């Protein structure tokens, strides 16, 4: 899989992507991630990528031309047109289900907005989907783009050492993750649950499932209800 990030700050994106698990996956050729500065595609001497909004209002708006030309260049590099996602507070909220779906794509490009956003004509012409991380606004699209990139990348085959590393996590199968413990067995007079020390595999799996259900019901009633509905279950907790 290949992910291309269109941004004004490629160094920021590269710094994150070249570290830790994602960085090792890139080195091992499990995934390709590239950052592109759309300022490099401006047609003016000042390399200006924004301008004042028509109709007035505060701030500046990113111009269509440099982003369009950058995306055209990326498409040529890929040999195909990537599926283009614009990180925007007006988009649909990102979910694990959508991440799983996007992880099956061969080529994805992610556009990072800034200032007051992007010329709507550019969005209408080439953006395939707008995605939001939640009902809040951050300074630029780089952090949301990196969240999406990380979430997709870790689902690629060979990025994590074991498939269970993400299949047991919160949201992968609707439920939130069960509590985790490590050494020592007793800390601040609190003991690790005995079942986890038993070595009884089936009992441990049952405990993890029960705990996931309890945690989900306590912290996310919406997800708990979704779990009940999709499994045709009644509320027994």
pLDDT (0 to 100) of residue 164:
46
Q: pLDDT of 19-71, one tens digit each? A: 999 999 999 999 999 999 999 999 998 999 999 999 999 999 999 999 999 99
Specify whether 129 is located in the same domain as 32: yes
The answer to whether the CB of 141 falls within 8 A of the CB of 132 is no
Q: Which domain holds residue 76?
A: 2-153
Specify whether 62 is located in the same domain as 102: yes
Q: pLDDT of 156-176, one tens digit each? A: 999 997 654 545 555 567 899
Specify whether 41 is located in the same domain as 111: yes
Of 153, 177, 200, the residue that ends a domain is: 153
pLDDT (0 to 100) of residue 173:
77
Specify whether 200 is located in the same domain as 133: no
**Does any domain span residue 210?**
yes
Specify whether 27 is located in the same domain as 92: yes
Phi, psi of 206 (to 5 degrees): -65, -40
> In the sheet where 107-112 sits, what is the strand order?
32-37, 2-7, 107-112, 83-93, 129-132
* Rounded CA separation 96/101 (Å): 9
Q: How many domains does the chain have?
A: 2
Specify whether 71 is located in the same domain as 185: no
**Does any domain span residue 162?**
no
Q: Across residues 171-191, what is the average pLDDT?
A: 88
Average pLDDT, the chain: 93
**Does any domain span residue 106?**
yes
């Amino acid at each position: 899989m290949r992910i291309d990030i269109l941004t004004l700050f490629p160094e920021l994106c590269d710094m994150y992507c070249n570290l830790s698990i994602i960085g090792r996956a890139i080195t091992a050729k499990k995934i390709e991630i590239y950052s592109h500065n759309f300022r490099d595609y401006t047609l003016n001497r000042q390399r200006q990528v924004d301008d004042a909004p028509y109709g007035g209002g505060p701030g500046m708006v990113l111009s269509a031309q440099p982003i369009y030309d950058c995306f055209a260049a990326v498409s040529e590099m890929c040999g195909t047109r990537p599926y283009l996602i614009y990180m925007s507070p007006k988009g649909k909220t990102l979910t694990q289900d959508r991440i799983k779906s996007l992880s099956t794509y061969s080529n994805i490009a992610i556009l990072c907005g800034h200032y007051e956003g992007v010329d709507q004509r550019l969005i209408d012409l080439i953006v395939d989907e707008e995605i939001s991380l939640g009902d809040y606004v951050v300074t630029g699209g780089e952090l949301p783009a990196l969240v999406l990139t990380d979430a997709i990348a870790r689902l690629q085959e060979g990025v994590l050492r074991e498939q269970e590393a993400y299949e047991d996590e919160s949201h992968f199968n609707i439920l939130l993750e069960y509590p985790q413990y490590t050494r020592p067995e007793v800390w601040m007079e609190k003991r690790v649950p005995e079942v986890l020390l038993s070595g009884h595999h089936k009992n441990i799996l049952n405990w993890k499932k029960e705990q996931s259900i309890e945690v989900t019901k306590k912290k996310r009633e919406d997800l708990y209800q979704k779990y009940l509905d999709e499994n045709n279950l009644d509320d027994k907790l």
